[in-house]
Structure 1
Amino acid sequence: MSKPTSRLLKVIRKEYVTANMLRVTLGGEALADFPEDQESGYIKFIFPSADGRRLMRTYTIRQQRQHELDVDFALHGDSGVACHWALRAQTGDQIKVGGPGPKKRISESADWMIFVGDMTSLPAISVNLAHLPSESKGYAILEVQTEADIQTLQKPDDIELKWIINPTPGQNSQSLLEHVKALKWLDGNVAIWAACEFSSMRALRAFFKERSDVERGNLYISSYWKHGLNEDQHKLEKREDLDKNDTA
């Protein structure tokens, strides 16, 4: 794959998908050579800072059309630099963007599937569900802040959606795990796709790795954020955790 490129894009429009999910559509001439079929891949928003450093924030490509990218922002308030920008962005505003990075898709070779995520990973899970073969079966456990954040998602008929309402995301590391444990385990090989807050991820990872019926090659699990930390701080803690986990 070619080296990711930074490009200057402009805001085409924006709209609320749900109460706490804001979609910003980016476009411009700089997308002319952007690779096709990059939904569920990521781009990095590049912001200047007061000390001259670049602040980069990572977001999933939710939808891609010719010369347009949709990016969904889960709004946890106005403290983060990316959400602050998205809330105030106006049509015609410009933003430097890097990428695309690799797509994150579930293994489709398994007999059934489990998706687990909060609002930060809902865009990636939504793309995964929409691209599954029609005969796919399993579950998607999706945590949102309010009932007004429940979306209508394109999915196979035999993927059961389980919506969890949590108005204080990141403050209960066991919530998603408890719902996973309550699932009826289906026959055959399972593929897992899970991404959420750091502490919740660690709880889920420990559970899945203890199960002898979850093959390592069918397990994707990642933390997209950590409660109380910005993305730069989270990256450092995530790297330390990965190093410890790889050597454990």
Structure 2
Amino acid sequence: MAKPQARELEVKRRSWVTKNMLRITLGGDGLKDFPPGQESAYIKLLFPQGGDARPLMRTYTVRHQRSDEIDVDFVMHEDHGPASAWASEAETGDKILVAGPGARKLISQEGNWFLLAADMTALPALSVNLEQLPDDARGYAVIEVREEADIQSLKHPPGLKIHWVINAKPCPEGRPLLEKVQSLAVLPGTPSVWAACEFGSMRALRRYLRQSFDVPKAQFYVSSYWKIGQTEDGHKQAKQRDSEESSTSP
């Protein structure tokens, strides 16, 4: 399979979505052949390292897409990684190389009800999923954010309840998201599940959800977007090991 094409995009504007989430709008001629309908797809931001070193790559989500622009939301930390550091200093007219888009991971529409969970890194993707659910959808979305100032107004079906979990410091055992999900009343029928978050939180949620619900594989998506204390490459390696262990476990 060919690697995603890299294109040069231009910063059109920046705006704060919440206290700790910054939106960068990208556009320019590089978007002319960007395929339509890519909200929630992932893209790779490329940061040149000089010399013969390969660029650093960081994965982000297309939050909104218009004919000539895409929005990318960045979670801002005190200790900036290369992507959030770039976003914090980005000005109108700045250029950046972007590869992709990659696959969209949308929740299955086949469930009797829907269960979604995410931390701030996956909030853009979860938001797109909420917007694409049918109007009569029932269920829950559980979202972990750093502080109350990070709560967003999200479009969602009226029968789907949103629960915000406030947690200032990531938990390696994934307790905040897990405990809230465990507290929810189980609805009749089989759910469709979509969850994306930190690696430890993902594993805790996956274990609980597999034990608690008999969900067909096509209706079950649980993934990690990052790992505490690891670079993106380190997280990728941890995901690979986890995938191998998971495939051989009973």
Q: TM-score, normalised by structure 2?
A: 0.96
What residue in structure 2 maps to residue 33 of structure 1? Answer: 33
Counterpart residue number, 1:16: 16
**1:44-83 alignment, distance < 5 Å:** 44-50=44-50, 52-83=53-84
CA distance in 1, matches of 2:140, 2:205: 15
Shift in Å, 1:3:
5.7
Worse-superposed segment, 208-217 or 236-245 = 208-217
> How far apart, CA to CA, are the structure 1 residues paired with 2:173 and 2:77?
15
Q: CA deviation at 1:243?
A: 1.0
Note the C-alpha offset of 1:240.
0.9
State the alpha-carbon separation in 2 of the partners of residues 183 and 215 from structure 1: 20
Q: CA deviation at 1:170?
A: 3.8
How many Å separate the matches in 2 of 1:207 and 1:216? 15
Q: Give a deviation string over 1:126-146, Cα, whole Å, max 9, x none.
A: 001011110111000000001
Give the corresponding residue for 1:5: 5
Q: 1:169 & 1:16 partners in 2: Cα distance? A: 22
Counterpart of 1:243 in structure 2 is 244
- Counterpart-to-counterpart distance in 2, 1:106 and 1:76: 28
**What residue is the counterpart of 1:152 in the other structure?**
153
Match of 2:218 in 1: 217
Superposed displacement of residue 172, structure 1:
4.7
Q: Tell me the TM-score normalized by structure 1.
A: 0.96
3-state SS of 1:204 partner:
helix
Tell me by how many angstroms 1:4 deviates. Answer: 2.3
Q: Report the equivalent of 1:183.
A: 184
Pairwise CA distance, 1:178: 0.8
Q: Deviations over 1:147-170 (max 9, x none)?
A: 010000000000100001001124
Q: Which residue of 2 aligns with 1:200?
A: 201
Counterpart Cα distance in 2 of 1:170 and 1:90: 33
Aligned-pair Cα RMSD in Å: 1.4
The answer on whether the counterparts of 2:172 and 2:201 sit within 8 Å (CA) in structure 1 is no
Is the 8 Å Cα contact of residues 59 and 71 (structure 1) preserved in structure 2? yes
CA separation of 1:84 and 1:236: change in aligned 2, threshold 3 A? same
> What do the CA deviations read for 1:175-217 (whole angstroms, capped 9, x no partner)?
2111111000000110110000000100111111123432222
Unaligned runs of 5+ in 2: none
Cα 1:212–1:90 change in 2 (3 A) is closer
Query: Which segment is superposed worse, 167-176 or 154-163?
Result: 167-176
After TM superposition, the structure 1 = structure 2 runs for residues 93-172 of structure 1, keeping only pairs within 5 Å, are 93-172=94-173
CA offset at residue 49 of structure 1?
1.9
**1:24–1:71 contact (8 Å) kept in structure 2:** yes
Change in CA separation of 1:126 and 1:34 when aligned onto 2, cut-off 3 Å = same
What SS is found at the alignment partner of 1:100?
Answer: coil
Query: 1:170 touches 1:226 (CA, 8 Å); kept in 2?
Result: no
Q: CA deviation at 1:30?
A: 1.1
User: What is the alpha-carbon distance in structure 1 between the residues aligned to residue 50 and residue 235 of structure 2?
Assistant: 21
Paired residues in the alignment total: 248
Deviation at 1:53, TM superposition (A): 1.9
2:42–2:60 Cα contact (<8 Å) kept: yes
5+ long unaligned stretches in structure 1: none
Letter in 2 for 1:47: F
CA offset digits 1:204-238 (Å, max 9, x no partner)? 11111123432222110000001111111111111
Per the alignment, in what secondary structure is the counterpart of residue 101 of structure 2? Answer: strand
Structure 1: 4+ residue segments shifted above 4 A = none
**Contact 2:144/2:165 (<8 A) preserved:** yes
